[in-house]
Structure formats: structure tokens, C-alpha cells
Structure 1
Amino acid sequence: MAVFVALGAFLMTLFGGWTARRVTDRRHLVLGLAGGLMLGVVGLDLLPEAIHAAGEDFLGVPRALLLFVGGFLAAHLVERLLAVRQAAHQDGRVPQVGLTAAAAMVGHSLMDGVALGAAFQVGGGMGTAVALAVIAHDFADGFNTYTITSLYGNDRRRALAMLVADALAPVLGAASTLLFTLPEELLGGYLGFFGGVLLYLAAAEILPEAHHDHPARSTLLCTVLGVGFIWLVVGVAG
């Protein structure tokens, strides 16, 4: 089931790359909705489940929350390191910088697939919620992978190759979970860490990008609708 759902992420990533080539004026609404879906999944479903599964506290704090903060900080650190490297070559348009950044996004998409498979090991409700978040934000992944590869002077062939690699990554990640079953405590810790990464992407990347050129009420409404939809999914699944 997880691999089948990951095919949706594959298609959404390709759609994001296609949109990057033919930017439309409605992209901000899609990104606003994606940010709301991700926020809803993390706060309303993924984090509570991770706290429940991760077991005992560590120094008075639930292990899942510690890993949640660690995931947020790790995503922030990676983003900052890439930003510094990109800034150092901003005028030179060094192709390797764009490829490095795109490769980092491919690695992240691979972890998306692993998280998707792990979520379905918990249960169908958790798997559905995480699937919605992964598929929603893979639009932005595809858009950014194609854009950043091209931005640093790589030709269309390389940009498309990185886009396809990013699209295949969640499918491979989900397929890998067919080979093993994570212990409940380890699964809870991983989902906590992944939740921190997901929240960072929503708060620091997707939502600011959604409002950058279109600070409209319709974009904010899409974000609220995304959160509300996840609340509905959690309620029905529960």
C-alpha cells in the first residue's frame, strides 16, 4: 500500500517540475494548501502518535519531542549550509552548487518514502495522513529541484534528470520498508524526527514562498483549509 501511495508523490513531484517550467499565477494557492496539510499532519496526527509510540521520557522530556526538535534543527542546519554555499557562488553560477542542492532534496525525498512506509506500519489512518503531507509537499520539492538545478547554469537535461531522481526517491524509500519492520519505540522516534523536518519545511520554506509574491487572503484560506482537512481525516480515522 505504501509503495502504491508513493506513486502519487512521484506524479506530484513531476507536476511540480512541470509547473516550474510553466509557472502559473495559481501556484501560491497550491503551496498555501500544501503548507496547511503539512502543519495539520505534524501537529494533529504525527506528533501525538510519535509521543505515544516512542516510550519513556528522557531527562523529563518525551523522547519523541526531543527528536522532533532535533529534526527541526537538522533541517535548519542543512538549509543554512546550502544557503551559505549558494551565496558564495551567487555571481559565478557554478553548476555543481545547483546539483548539490538538488541532490540534498533527493535525499530528503528518499526519507519521505521511508516515513511513509513506517507510517503505514503504524496503521492505515497514520499512513493516510502522512501520505497527504508527503504528496502535498512533493509539489514544492519538484518545483524547487528543477528551479535550483537550472538556476546555477545546468542545462535542461540535467535539470530533468534531477527532477526524475527526486520523483523516484519516495517510491524507493517506501519500497525499502517492505524489507523490515521498525520496533515501536524506534518508529515513534523516527516519526518525531521526521515531524520536526516536516514542520521546518512548512514554516521556513513552503508558506513563506506561498506568500512571497501573493500575500492574499485566498492563500491564507487555503492554508487553513489544509489544516482543517487533516483534522477531519484524523477524526474519521480515529
Structure 2
Amino acid sequence: MAVIVALGAFLMTLAGGWTAQRVTDRRHLVLGLAGGLMLGVVGLDLLPEAMHAAGQEVFGVPLALLLFVGGFLVAHVVERLLAVRQAAHGAADNGGHDGHGHGGGRVPQVGLTAAAAMVGHSVADGVALGAAFQVGGGMGVAVALAVITHDFADGFNTYTLTRLYGNARRKALLMLFADAVAPVVGAASTLLFTLPEEPLGAYLGFFGGALLYLAAAEILPEAHHEHPALSTLMCTVGGVAGIWLVVGLAD
């Protein structure tokens, strides 16, 4: 049953990615909405779930929060290291006239890494879905509602993140397809084994920190850079509100 339900998540992920690529003429609105969706997913879905699953403390701080901060810092360090490396490479290629390289300083590897993390999150969604159906039908339906509805945001963000960092459309579509298949793979894996709750919570905390960094430091500033319009801001707020609605309905 869980695998069948995961096929709904597969379709919703593809629908989210299709929506992201169809509205490229309103790029600032797409990025504003993506930033809001990412902020909502982190603050209203991932972090509470991580706190619940990995609630033990390390030196007075919940493990999930430590990993959340760690994920934020790792994303920042990785992006800075890749940016410095690409800037140095660009300077060597053009005699130092342009230290930003291709794509206006965007590092394609960062987008691919972020999209890969989204795929990992979707695998965890599938595992959670399968585990919920093992507990009982009611629990399975509640988790299925949450997974299927917010996988639209996952597909939207996976495609947007990959393209934002200068990757070709083909790579963005490949990452989108991988993200769509991931919950099916995760749900199918629960037919063989069950992932312990604490490692899953730890992963979600770390991933939430990395995702928040991308939303706050990259997506939202880019959305408002050339189009600081009220419509962009409303898309961001609407994205957060949409995730809140999904979480509320799931509960």
C-alpha cells in the first residue's frame, strides 16, 4: 500500500518541477515562492519532526538543533570553498579580468549538491510513509497526505535550485526525476527493513539547516535583487502559508 501511495508523491513531484519550468518568464516570482516553500518546509515540517525524532541533548542542546546549525554552516562553508575555487579558476582562464566564472559567480556544483539533498529528503519521506503504514492505516493516511502534498514543493524547489546555479535544463530534469522516484524507493525499502527513528531525525535536522541557508542566503536575495516588488514578497509569504496549511491538514 505504501508503494502505491508513493506513486502519488512521484506525480506531485513531477508536477512541481513542471510548474517551476513553465513560469520562467516570472523568474523573480518563482524564486520568491521557492524561498517561501523552503522556509515553510524547514520551520514547520522538518525541524519539528527532527526535534521529535532526535530529541536527546548534547551538552545542554537538543541534537536536532545542533545538527540544524551544523547543516547551515556546512552549506555555507561548502559554497564559499567552491566559489573561491571557481573564482581562482576563472581568473586563471581569462587573465584575472573576471573572477566570477560562468553564470555570474554561481557554482553549478552547489545547485547539484542541494538537489541531491532534496532527493535524500524524498527518500526519507518514502521511508516515513512506509513506516507509518506499518504502524497502522490511520497513521499511514495522515503521513501520505503530508508527503504527497509537500512533494509538489520538493519538485518545485529541486528544479529551481538546480537551474538557479547555472546547471543545464537537462541536469535539472534528471535531478527532478530522481527526486520523484526517491519516495517510491524509500517506501519500497520498508518492505525489507525499518530505519530507526533517531538517525532519521538527525538527518532531517542537518538537512533543514542546509536548506535554510540556501533559502535565506541565495534564493530570497536573488528573488528580490532585480524585482523588489510586493508580488515577490507575497509569493514568499504565500509559500510559507501553503506549507503551514499542508502541515495543519496532515495533523
Find 1:108's aligned residue among 117, 138, 141: 117
Q: Secondary structure at the match of 2:90?
A: coil
Amino acid at match of 2:29: L
For residues 18 and 89 of structure 2, the distance between their equivalents in structure 1, rounded to whole angstroms, comes to 28
**Which residue is equivalent to 2:158?**
138
Residue 194 of structure 1: which of 193, 207, 216 is its match?
207
Distance change >3 Å, CA 86–CA 137, structure 1 → 2: same
RMSD of aligned alpha carbons: 2.9
Do structure 1's residue 81 and structure 2's residue 46 form an aligned pair? no
Opposite residue 127 of structure 1, the aligned amino acid is: V
Describe the shift of the 1:105–1:47 C-alpha distance in structure 2 as closer, same or farther (beyond 3 A): closer
* Identity level (%): 51
Answer whether contact 2:155 2:179 (CA < 8 A) is retained.
Answer: no
Whole-Å Cα distance in 2 between the matches of residues 210 and 3 of structure 1?
32
User: 2-side partners of 1:101 and 1:134: how far apart?
Assistant: 17
Taking structure 1 as the reference length, the TM-score comes to: 0.78
Matches within 5 A, 1:1-238: 1-10=5-14, 12-13=16-17, 16=20, 23-24=24-25, 26-91=26-91, 92=93, 100=109, 103-105=112-114, 107-120=116-129, 121=131, 123-124=143-144, 126-128=146-148, 130-144=150-164, 148-149=166-167, 159-177=168-186, 178-180=188-190, 181-238=194-251
Q: Is the 8 A contact 2:16 2:153 kept in 1?
A: no
Conserved? CA contact 1:3–1:117, under 8 Å:
no
User: Which stretches in structure 2 are left out of the alignment for 5+ residues?
Assistant: 94-100, 133-142
More off after superposition, 117-126 vs 196-205: 117-126
- For the Cα contact (< 8 Å) 2:10–2:183, is it kept in 1? yes
2:245, 2:16 → 1: CA distance?
A: 23
Return the offset for 1:44. 1.9
* Structure 2 counterpart of 1:140, one-letter code: T
TM-score normalised per structure 2: 0.74
Distance 1:125 1:83, change over 3 A: same
Query: Cα distance 1:42–1:101, how it changes in 2: closer, same or farther (>3 A)?
Result: closer
User: Which consecutive unaligned segments of at least 5 residues does structure 1 have?
Assistant: 150-158
Q: Aligned equivalents of 1:102 and 1:113: distance in 2? A: 17
**Rg larger in 1 or in 2?**
2
CA distance, structure 2, for counterparts of residue 68 and residue 192 of structure 1? 5
Task: Say how many residue pairs are matched.
Answer: 222
In the alignment, residue 68 of structure 2 is paired with which amino acid?
F
Pairwise CA distance, 1:138: 2.0
> 2:13 corresponds to which letter in structure 1?
A
Deviation at 1:69, TM superposition (A): 1.0
Distance in 2, matches of 1:60 and 1:98, equals: 37
Tell me how far 1:99 sits from its aligned partner: 6.6
- Where does residue 140 of structure 2 map in the other structure? none
Cα distance, 1:3 vs. partner?
4.8
Cα contact 2:155–2:180 (8 A) shared by 1: no
Structure-2 change in CA distance of 1:13 and 1:229 (3 Å): closer
- Conserved in 2, the CA contact under 8 Å of 1:119 and 1:130? no
